[in-house]
């Protein structure tokens, strides 16, 4: 009996050893496969040392396409493989689940789009405890002062957008604003609104006539623009905070035969926006360099991994696309 037991124990040990070797091999192969994913710049190139999750809203907005493109351009230098998680743009709960999943997976880094009122300070502390390098990407500086982020300043964005409108319409400007889908209940608390409002103070009589919050869905920009143009006191200028809403507003102005009567200042750049600007439907578009933001986010991850704990916030600028540029 003892001899049989020893034989069984030996056989069981061999099986366990084989399973352990197989598991290690599968883990190695899965890591290698991940490093050969869509974010590899060269199919013959590199083996990834780090695993980064990018968590962004599930939208076709050109801002996020540019962000991913910038990340793709930088990952080889960082020796990283990237996995993209998408969540419903209007769901803070889904965004939170993406954050929790990344921490439970113990990935090396998490680059995550973060709205102004997200609990950034708490998330940064939680990620640090989990050993995950957390890089927030924002279109507004976070409310928690001193927190590191990579992104843009929508206060300047709003001010520049309004300056273009006011340069054309002056004190007669009646501005409608399509705000981002995420934000506070009171639009007046948002930097984008504040920037527009500050610009109007230079022109007595100019005012913000209507404010609409963008909603999920392909027709959100059209619905928002139409509601402002059908008001008893309609707007004569529309400022949009996203590429999708810019395209929607332009389509409504065309459909209502108001091209030339209603100015549109859009956000970001796409083939549709370029066409609308070149044809005079959209006056100008404020183009945020989201690809530069993506590259900066990956570089920030590398800096943190190399031991640089205190990083200053990184803000990217913007350019203005106007019809005259097609002749340059």
Q: What is the pLDDT of residues 204-228, one digit of tens each?
A: 999 999 999 887 665 677 888 999 9
Indicate whether 260 and 301 sit together in one domain: no
Domain-located, residue 182: yes
Please state the pTM of the whole predicted model: 0.78
Residue 8's contacts (CB-CB under 8 Å, 6 or more residues apart) are none
Which DSSP string corresponds to 52-98?
EEEEEES---HHHHHHHHHHHHHHHHHTEEEEEEEE-TT-HHHHHHH
* pLDDT value of residue 315: 72
Domain-located, residue 90: yes
What does the pLDDT look like over 65-95, one tens digit per residue? 999 999 999 999 999 999 999 998 778 888 8
Indicate whether 50 and 119 sit together in one domain: yes
Domain-located, residue 2: no
Indicate whether 80 and 191 sit together in one domain: no
Indicate whether 140 and 162 sit together in one domain: no
SS3 (DSSP) at 319: strand
User: 280 exposed, middle or buried (CB, 10 Å; 0-12, 13-18, 19+)?
Assistant: exposed
- Angle at the Cα of 170 (from 168 to 175), degrees rounded to 5? 85
Q: 190: closest CA among 239, 224, 149? A: 239
Indicate whether 111 and 186 sit together in one domain: no
Indicate whether 137 and 176 sit together in one domain: no
- Weakly modelled stretches of the chain, pLDDT under 50: 2, 4-5, 8-9, 12, 14-17, 19-44, 326-328
Indicate whether 172 and 264 sit together in one domain: yes
Domain-located, residue 26: no
Number of domains observed in the structure of the chain: 2
Domain-located, residue 65: yes
Indicate whether 130 and 218 sit together in one domain: no
Full residue range of the structural domain in which residue 178 is found: 154-288+322-327
Indicate whether 161 and 197 sit together in one domain: yes
Residue showing tokens 């008001």: 231
* pLDDT value of residue 294: 94
Indicate whether 64 and 82 sit together in one domain: yes
Indicate whether 64 and 121 sit together in one domain: yes
Domain-located, residue 5: no
* pLDDT value of residue 6: 53
Beta carbons of 213 and 183 less than 8 angstroms apart: yes
Phi-psi region for residue 78, left (φ > 0), alpha (ψ -120 to 50) or beta?
A: alpha
Domain-located, residue 17: no
Domain-located, residue 23: no
Indicate whether 123 and 169 sit together in one domain: no
* pLDDT value of residue 184: 65
Question: What's the CATH number where 175 sits?
Answer: 3.40.50.2300
């Amino acid at each position: 009996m003892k001899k049989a037991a020893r034989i069984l124990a030996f056989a069981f040990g061999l099986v366990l050893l084989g399973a352990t070797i197989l598991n290690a091999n599968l883990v190695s192969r899965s890591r290698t496969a991940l490093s050969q994913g869509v974010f590899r710049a060269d199919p013959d190139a590199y083996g990834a040392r780090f695993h980064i999750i990018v968590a962004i809203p599930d939208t076709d907005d050109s801002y996020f396409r540019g962000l991913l493109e910038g990340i793709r351009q930088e990952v080889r230098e960082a020796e990283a493989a990237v996995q993209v998680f998408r969540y419903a743009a209007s769901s803070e709960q889904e965004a939170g689940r993406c954050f929790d999943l990344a921490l439970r997976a113990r990935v090396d880094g998490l680059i995550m789009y973060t709205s102004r009122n997200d609990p950034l300070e708490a998330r940064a502390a939680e990620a640090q405890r989990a050993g995950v390098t957390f890089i927030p990407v924002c279109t507004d500086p976070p409310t928690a002062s001193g927190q590191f982020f990579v992104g843009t300043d929508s206060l300047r964005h709003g001010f520049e957008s309004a300056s273009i409108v006011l340069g054309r319409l002056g004190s007669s400007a009646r501005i409608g604003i399509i705000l981002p889908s995420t934000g506070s209940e009171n639009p007046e608390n948002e930097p984008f609104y504040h920037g527009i409002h500050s610009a109007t103070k230079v022109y007595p009589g100019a005012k913000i006539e209507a404010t609409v919050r963008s909603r999920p869905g392909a027709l959100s920009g059209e619905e928002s623009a139409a509601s402002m143009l059908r008001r008893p006191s309609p707007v004569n200028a529309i400022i949009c905070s996203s590429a999708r809403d810019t395209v929607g507003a332009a389509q409504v102005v065309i459909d209502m035969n108001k091209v030339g009567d209603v100015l549109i200042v859009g956000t970001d750049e796409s083939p549709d926006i370029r066409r609308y600007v070149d044809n005079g439907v959209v006056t100008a578009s404020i183009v945020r360099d989201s690809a530069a933001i993506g590259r900066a986010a990956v570089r920030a991850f590398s800096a943190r991994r190399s031991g640089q704990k205190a990083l200053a916030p990184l803000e990217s600028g913007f350019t203005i696309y106007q019809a005259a540029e097609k002749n340059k």
